[in-house]
């Protein structure tokens, strides 16, 4: 059974602990290493690995410390270059677009997403019970369709009406947000385009501090999908 524990979510830092009961992993270790240690009860050696979607520090801050602690970190070649990692380090595992790899009991399929990063990935994870977890963050568009999903972790950074009405945000910044992050409207379009029949739970991630409304987002996604929806706490 998949268990999802958000440790941090948002522009100040992200980190998610995922386990199927056998192989605990981290996704996007973008906070201080000591905070991750505390959050997982200092069981760093028990991690099967860490997935890194892209190089921005709110998603990759603890990568070098995890490598030093003996944790395998999985990412694209472009991400490794931007983080300035030594790719010959045996703890840096380079993933290829749409090529499966094994991390403990997980089978992980990375796929391209659209973001202002070097080679960003989304991830489709499957465990031995054939449960499927989809993870997408920091992307303004998803061209793929998915079947048989049981768990969805999806960025819901802003809504168009809140963003446009935010008088404290320069227009250039608003344009950058729209070209790099997933909106509530895009989240709805994504769910309308995909098979929801097997989904057990939805997790909304990376909400903007100034351009989102957690209660509203949760309510509207639950109304649309009919599935239990959780909003990852910011910070």
- Asked if residues 195 and 176 have their Cβ atoms less than 8 Å apart, the reply is no
Q: What is the pTM of this model?
A: 0.95
Helix (H, G, I), strand (E, B) or coil at 225: helix
Which tens digit of pLDDT belongs to each residue from 41-70?
999 999 999 999 999 999 999 999 999 999
CA distance 37 to 53: 20
| Residues 26, 24: Cα–Cα separation, whole Å | 7
Its CATH architecture, for the domain 3-231, is 4-Layer Sandwich (3.60)
- Average pLDDT, whole number, for the chain? 94
Torsional sign, CA 193, 199, 205, 208: positive
pLDDT for res 22: 97
d(CA 137, CA 15): 12
The tens digit of pLDDT for each residue in 74-106 reads 999 999 999 988 766 899 999 999 999 999 999
DSSP 172-223: HHHHHHHTTS-BHHHHHHHHHHS--TT--EEEEE---SSS--HHHHHHHHHH
The more confident residue out of 232 and 180 is 232
**pLDDT (tens digit per residue) in 191-220:** 999 999 999 999 999 999 889 999 999 999
Does the pLDDT value for residue 167 go beyond 80? no
């Amino acid at each position: 059974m998949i268990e999802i524990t958000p440790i941090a979510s948002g522009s100040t830092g992200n980190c998610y602990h995922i386990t199927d009961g056998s192989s605990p992993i981290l996704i996007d270790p973008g906070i201080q290493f000591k905070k991750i240690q505390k959050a997982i009860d200092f069981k760093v050696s028990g991690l099967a690995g860490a997935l890194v979607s892209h190089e921005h520090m709110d998603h990759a801050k603890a990568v070098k410390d995890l490598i030093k602690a003996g944790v395998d970190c999985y990412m694209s070649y472009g991400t490794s270059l931007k983080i300035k990692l030594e790719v010959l380090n045996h703890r840096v595992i380079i993933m290829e677009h749409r090529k499966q790899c094994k991390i403990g009991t997980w089978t992980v399929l990375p796929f391209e997403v659209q973001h202002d990063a070097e080679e960003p990935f989304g991830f489709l994870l499957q465990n031995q019970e054939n449960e499927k977890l989809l993870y997408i963050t920091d992307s303004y568009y998803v061209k793929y369709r998915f079947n048989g999903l049981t768990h969805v972790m999806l960025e819901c950074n802003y809504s168009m009406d809140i963003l446009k009405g935010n008088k404290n945000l320069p227009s250039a910044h608003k344009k950058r947000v729209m070209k790099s992050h997933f909106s509530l409207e895009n989240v709805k379009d994504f769910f309308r385009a995909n098979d929801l029949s097997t989904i057990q739970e939805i997790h909304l991630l990376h909400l903007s501090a100034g351009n989102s409304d957690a209660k509203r987002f949760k309510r509207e996604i639950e109304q649309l999908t009919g599935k239990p929806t959780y909003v990852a706490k910011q910070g």
